Amino acid sequence: MEEANTMLTIVGLIIIISIVTMLIFKKVSPVVGMTIIPIIGALVLGHGFGDIRKYVDSGFDQVFNVAVMFIFAIIYFGIISDSGLFRPLVKGMIKLTRGNIIIVAIVTTIIGTFAQLDGAGATTFLLAIPALLPLYRTLKMSPYLLVLLLALSAAIINMVPWGGPMARTASVLKVDNINQLWYNIIPIQLIGIVLAILFAIYLGLREKKRIAREFPNEETIKVDMNEIIENYQKDQEENASIKGEAKKHTYILWLNLILTIIIVAMMLLDIVPPELAFMIGVGIALPLNFRDVDEQMDRLRAHAPNALMMAAVILAAGVFLGILNETGMLESIALSLIDVIPTAVGPYLHIIIGMLGVPLDLLTSTDAYYFAVLPIVESTASQFGVPSLSTAYSLMIGNIIGTFVSPFSPALWLAVGLAEINMGKYIKYAFFWIWGFSIVMLFIAILLGIVTI
């Protein structure tokens, strides 16, 4: 029996280490790694394809609803973004700054908060950076500060159910109704937004002092807000080739806003499950914004790649989790770790790993963190009486703030390109601010009882 457990542990660790290593060095895609390697591991342990089929079916049962939700959430918010719903908000916010450095920092944070509501970092950066970068340059503010503030606020909002980290967490915990996870997180999101605004004020004051120090003899900078707004409008029109109903009728934007509020409310009040809410949303938003059937199909084809890519990763994770759970590998790894970890440390393991969440984001990909690290920590911590939800929240809160400081984030590379900055310098500029913020958020979660010790 002991030899069998040892074999389970060894093969399980080889599977996890192989997947993490290959993802880090980009040798395989997440779909390939989380599908093929666990199957090979199961075959090595002597399980036949009949058994593996049962394990995979069990894994699919865990993640299917999340995958469906992701597909329709991405398509829905893609359609809403196509309509230009957020552009008037961005323009209004830019006008509000009136060239005041501190207000610019605050507005940057607010724009990042609203722009990330679709759960896509790329959309946030595409919407905000072209609009704000000319203002930052005129005021001699650092573009690194621009990306930092957007990254921080976007990461806080990224805890929504249709965000990648929450979907991955739900898959690992076998949670069918992802809203159950989100309800407990909402207070920490609200507090995080307030803290992010306060942090923006501090960094704005710091930036103002830096500008005064570096440009002591320069007169008060005059900003032509109308010119900046006109340039932003022109840039958006040049980049938007989509001709939907919102372009013809402004009231469509208001209908999109009302529809979005209704969809989110239906989820919050648990009237319908998230996947059905977004299916309904897509069914209404498509004809509302694009009357022509060919245009509707074009929009579906435009957003399908992103939707299917993430859904494929979630389903591949189902294979990985199903095999590791059903063969007993995950449990065996956890029991082996318990023998190694000092008893005094065990009950705090989830806190320790949560505090290291941002540095781990620089060492692992997001998929590796949630599908390899989280299951092991959850299984091990549960042996010390730590609830699974507490472990999941600790690791997610500790890590998610660092989403857009990791070079493994494709959206961050987009932000770096748009802001015309250097990735290495950005990480050096933002890393410790982001890490410190994540630790503060984790301790607030502990004080609120979201994460228990």
CB 109 within 8 A of CB 149: yes
Residue 338 has pLDDT above 70, yes or no: no
Residue 117 vs residue 353, higher pLDDT: 353
Highest mean pLDDT, choosing among 16-30, 68-82, 138-152, 336-350: 138-152
Q: What is the pLDDT of residue 114?
A: 82
Which residues, 6+ apart, have CB-to-CB distance to 424 below 8 Å? Answer: none
CA atoms within 13 A on the CB side of 116: 27
Residue 238 vs residue 113, higher pLDDT: 113
Q: What is the pLDDT of residue 284?
A: 94
Segment 145-160 mean pLDDT:
91
Q: What tokens were used for 161?
A: 């159910």
Mean of the per-residue pLDDT values of the chain: 81
Residue 221 has pLDDT above 70, yes or no: no
Residue 145 has pLDDT above 90, yes or no: yes
Q: How confident is the model at residue 232 (pLDDT cuts 50, 70, 90)?
A: low
Residue 237 has pLDDT above 60, yes or no: no
Q: What is the pLDDT of residue 234?
A: 62
Phi, psi of 404 (to 5 degrees): -105, 35
Least confident of 175-189, 231-245, 288-302, 361-375: 231-245
The CA–CA distances, whole Å, from 49 to 11, 60, 214, 229, 325 equal 17, 16, 68, 61, 16
Q: Report the 10 Å Cβ neighbour count for 119.
A: 24
CA quadruple 46, 48, 54, 55: dihedral sign: positive
Q: What is the pLDDT of residue 239?
A: 52
The H or E element that residue 125 is part of is helix 121-138
CB 105 within 8 A of CB 204: yes
Q: How confident is the model at residue 437 (pLDDT cuts 50, 70, 90)?
A: very high
Least confident of 144-148, 215-219, 287-291: 215-219
Q: What tokens were used for 216?
A: 């002591």
Q: What is the pLDDT of residue 411?
A: 75
Q: What is the pLDDT of residue 208?
A: 86
Segment 260-268 mean pLDDT:
81
Q: How confident is the model at residue 252 (pLDDT cuts 50, 70, 90)?
A: confident
Q: What is the pLDDT of residue 404?
A: 85
Residue 317 vs residue 390, higher pLDDT: 390
Q: What is the pLDDT of residue 119?
A: 66
Q: What is the pLDDT of residue 241?
A: 59
pLDDT tens digits, 420-433: 888 778 888 998 99
Which residues, 6+ apart, have CB-to-CB distance to 267 below 8 Å? Answer: 161, 179, 274, 277
CB 167 within 8 A of CB 71: no
Q: What is the pLDDT of residue 414?
A: 72
Q: What is the pLDDT of residue 39?
A: 94
Segment 109-123 mean pLDDT:
78
Segment 321-329 mean pLDDT:
84
Q: How confident is the model at residue 196 (pLDDT cuts 50, 70, 90)?
A: very high
**Tokens 């209908």 found at:** 255
Q: What is the pLDDT of residue 179?
A: 78
CB 105 within 8 A of CB 152: no
pTM above threshold 0.85: no
Residue 199 vs residue 71, higher pLDDT: 199
Which of 452, 449, 453, 436 has the alpha carbon at shortest distance from 355?
436
Q: How confident is the model at residue 263 (pLDDT cuts 50, 70, 90)?
A: confident
- Exposure of 449 by Cβ count < 10 A (0-12 exposed, 13-18 middle, 19+ buried)? exposed
Which of 199, 193, 201 has the alpha carbon at shortest distance from 153?
193
Q: What percent of the chain has pLDDT over 70?
A: 85
In angstroms and rounded to an integer, the radius of gyration of the C-alpha atoms of the chain is 23
Q: How confident is the model at residue 441 (pLDDT cuts 50, 70, 90)?
A: very high
- Separation of alpha carbons 43 and 448, rounded Å: 45
Residue 33 vs residue 98, higher pLDDT: 33
Which of 170, 165, 210, 222 has the alpha carbon at shortest distance from 189?
165
| H-type alpha helices, 25-86 | 30-44, 49-82
The CA–CA distances, whole Å, from 382 to 374, 397, 444 equal 12, 18, 22
Q: How confident is the model at residue 253 (pLDDT cuts 50, 70, 90)?
A: confident
Segment 381-389 mean pLDDT:
86
The CA–CA distances, whole Å, from 158 to 56, 112, 120, 166, 344 equal 29, 11, 8, 8, 33
Q: What is the pLDDT of residue 201?
A: 95
- Separation of alpha carbons 163 and 121, rounded Å: 10
Residue 225 has pLDDT above 70, yes or no: no
Phi-psi bin for 221: left (phi > 0), alpha (psi -120 to 50), beta?
A: beta
Q: What torsion do the CA atoms of 408, 414, 416, 422 make, to the nearest 10 degrees?
A: 60
CA atoms within 13 A on the CB side of 333: 22
Residue 368 has pLDDT above 80, yes or no: no
Q: What is the pLDDT of residue 153?
A: 92
- Separation of alpha carbons 168 and 370, rounded Å: 6
| H-type alpha helices, 327-450 | 329-340, 349-355, 357-363, 366-368, 374-382, 388-400, 410-419, 423-448
